Amino acid sequence: MFPTGCQTVGNRGTGVGWGTVAFLDPVTLSGSLVRLEPLARSHADALRAATHDGRVWELWYTSAPAPEDVEADITAKRAGAAAGQGLPFALRRLLDDKVVGVTTFLHPVPAVPAVEIGSTWYAASARRTGLNTEAKFLMLRHAFEVWGCRRVAFRATWFNHPSREAIERLGAVFEGRIRNDRVLRDGTVTDTAQYSLTGEQWPAVQRHLNHLLGRH
């Protein structure tokens, strides 16, 4: 199954040549498996339930909040968006209309333009179903084809091997190990693995992701 297109409020299309969409403007991105909705307070109950699917907050390397911290996490991400520092989404699985996680455009550099995709977590039942691949496809297409980004970055905790493998499956290039640059919830200071994709890579990566999505 292939993504059906990018959808903004009141618009639907291929995502190519949309010169009227401003950098980090709220947008809904829709595919065949998942819909990315601008994160709202109304998502709190569904996201709280999603954290219990696999008790994902107990994974030491994840960005998933504990159930009691979901509302505060939404508030913080929305505040960042209001300050022009990101664009967070709730991930809705179209198969059963359940919200199953969160992902975010963050660390924007409008002058390049460039952006990072991160702060992503999924309920356990959404893993290895194609949802993450399609969500990344939709975000990358929006970044490169709508915003005209020259670079999209990804970062993962050094020992978070599942996330690193998922990033590498996209075709992202490993840029290096950043030493002692993040603090985990238990206070441990650890390293980051940094990756990126460039606009020049996007056509080949797009074909690759379409191939992967054809399996679902």
List, for residues 126-163, the tens digit of each pLDDT value. Answer: 988 999 999 999 999 999 999 999 999 999 999 889 88
Residue 187's pLDDT is 84
Residue 63's pLDDT is 87
Residue 203's pLDDT is 96
Residue 143's pLDDT is 97
Task: Give the pTM.
Answer: 0.88
Residue 21's pLDDT is 63
What stretches in the chain show pLDDT beneath 70? 1-21
Residue 17's pLDDT is 37
Mode of pairing for the β-strands spanning 151-157 and 114-122: parallel
3-state secondary structure the chain: CCCCEEEECCEEECCCCCCCCCCCCCCEEECCCEEEEECCHHHHHHHHHHHHCCCHHHCCCCCCCCHHHHHHHHHHHHHHHHCCCEEEEEEEECCCCEEEEEEEEEEEECCCCEEEEEEEEECHHHCCCCHHHHHHHHHHHHHHHHCCCCEEEEEEECCCHHHHHHHHHHCCEEEEEEEEEEECCCCCEEEEEEEEEECCCHHHHHHHHHHHHCCC
